[in-house]
Structure 1
C-alpha cells in the first residue's frame, strides 16, 4: 500500500525505526508536538494538511505518485478531541483507538488502562520523543521558564507566575519512563530519574511495545484496535472502551 502519514513529532524515533522495515510506501509528515494542548488548532492543522493531500497539492510529498495514496494514517490518539471533525473527501483515514500517544508507546489501550489502574493515575510519561520535543517537567524547564519570566516581568512577579503555573503538578506523583524495544536511541533513563528527584516524585520504568505502531503503518487494521473513517466522514469520541467512532 501507499500510505500518507500525519504524525506528531514525539513518534519520530519509533515510527522512523519501524518505517525502515515496513513493506508499505510511507510518505510521512511530522507535526510539531504540543498541539494536543490546543485541540482546535490541532484539528485545523490536520484538516489543512488533509485538504492539500486531497487536492494533490501537499508540499511535503514528493515523487511521481504525489496524491496517489490508499489511505491517510494519523499518528495521533484522540488527543483532547483534536482529531474529531477531520475528514478527507478522497481517502479513508486510519486512526488508532487511543486516548493519547502513551497508548501507542505501550502497545494497546488495555495495557494503558491496566497501568493507569495500578498506579492510580498521577503519572507523567517520559519517552525520548517527549524529552527531545517538549518541555517536560524538569529542573532545566523550570529554570528556563523562570529566567524568561524574570526578564519580562521582574523577579517577584516571575516567582508568583511560576508558583501558579506549577499547580497542575499537584495531581502528579511519579515520572514513568518508557523504554521501547529494539530502538537504539539515547538513553534518557538517567535524565528521567533526575527529573523525578527534582520534582520529588517517584520514578518508574515500563517496557514499551511497538505492536500498535507497527500495525498502524503495516496496514494490519483490525476493528478492535483501529478506526477506519470512510471518505466524506469524520470521527467523534464514543465515551466507551472503543474510544472513537465514525460520526453520524
Structure 2
C-alpha cells in the first residue's frame, strides 16, 4: 500500500526507525508538537492537511497525483478530541484507539490504562521525542521561560508569572520515562532522572512497545486497536474502552 502519514513530531524517531522496515510505501508529514494544547487548532491544521491531500495539492507530499494513496494514517491519539471531526472526501483515515501518544509508545490502550491506574494519573511521561520537541518540566525549561518573562515583563513580575504558569505541575508526582526496545537513539534516562530530582518527583522507567506503531504503518488494522474511517465520514469520542468511533 501507499500510505500518507500525518504525525506529531514526538514520534519522529520511532516512526522513522520503523518506516525503514515497513512493507508499505510511506509519505510522512510531521506537525510540530503542542497542537493538542489547543484541540480546535489541531483539528483545523489536520483538516487543512487532509484537504490538500484530497486535492493533490499537498506541498509536502512525494506525489501530487489525486488518488495517489490507499489511506491516510494519523500518528495521533484522541489528543483532547483534536482529531474528532476530521474527514477525507477521497481516502479512508486510520487512527489508533488511543487517548494520546503515550499509548503509542506503550504499545496498547490496555497497557496505558494499567499504568495510568498504577500512577493515579500523576505521571508526566518523558520520551526522546518529547524531550527533543517540547518544553518538558525541567530546570532548563524553567530557566528559559523565566528569562523570557524577565525580558518582557521585568524581574518583579516574572517570578509571579512563573508561579501561575507552573500551577498545573502540582497535579504530578512522577517522572515516567519510556525506553523503547530495539531503537538506537540518544539515551535521555539521565536527563529524565535529573528532571525528577529538580522537580522533587519520583522517577520510574517503563519498557516501551512498538507493536501499535509498527502495525499502524504496516496496515495491520484490526478493529480492536484501530478505527478505519471511510471517506466522507468522521469520528468522535466513544466514552468507552474503544475510545473513538465513527460519528453517526
Would the TM-score normalized by the shorter structure come out above 0.5? Answer: yes
Which residue does the alignment assign to 2:184? 184
Displacement of 1:195 in angstroms is 0.3
Q: 1:86-111: CA deviations, max 9, x gaps?
A: 00000000000000000000000000
Aligned residues: 248
Matched, 1:33 2:33: yes
Unpaired stretches in structure 1, ≥5 consecutive residues = none
- Do the aligned residues in 2 keep the contact of 1:235 with 1:245 (CA within 8 Å)? yes
Which residue does the alignment assign to 1:161? 161
Scaled by the length of structure 1, what TM-score is found? 0.99
Which residue does the alignment assign to 2:70? 70
Matched, 1:196 2:196: yes
| Cα distance change, pair 67–9 in 1 and its aligned pair in 2 (3 A) | farther
Displacement of 1:60 in angstroms is 0.7
Which residue does the alignment assign to 1:213? 213
Displacement of 1:117 in angstroms is 1.0
- Do the aligned residues in 2 keep the contact of 1:58 with 1:67 (CA within 8 Å)? no
Unpaired stretches in structure 2, ≥5 consecutive residues = none
Scaled by the length of structure 2, what TM-score is found? 0.99
Kindly report the root-mean-square deviation, in angstroms, between the aligned alpha carbons of the 2 structures. Answer: 0.9
Name the CA distance, whole Å, in 2 between partners of 1:187 and 1:149. Answer: 31
Name the CA distance, whole Å, in 2 between partners of 1:35 and 1:64. Answer: 26
Describe how 1:140-159 pairs up with structure 2 within 5 A. 140-159=140-159
- SS of alignment partner, residue 140 of structure 2: helix
Displacement of 1:27 in angstroms is 0.3
Displacement of 1:64 in angstroms is 7.3
- SS of alignment partner, residue 195 of structure 1: helix
- SS of alignment partner, residue 186 of structure 1: coil
Name the CA distance, whole Å, in 1 between partners of 2:169 and 2:64. Answer: 49
Name the CA distance, whole Å, in 1 between partners of 2:66 and 2:182. Answer: 32
- Deviating 4+ runs (over 3 angstroms): 63-67
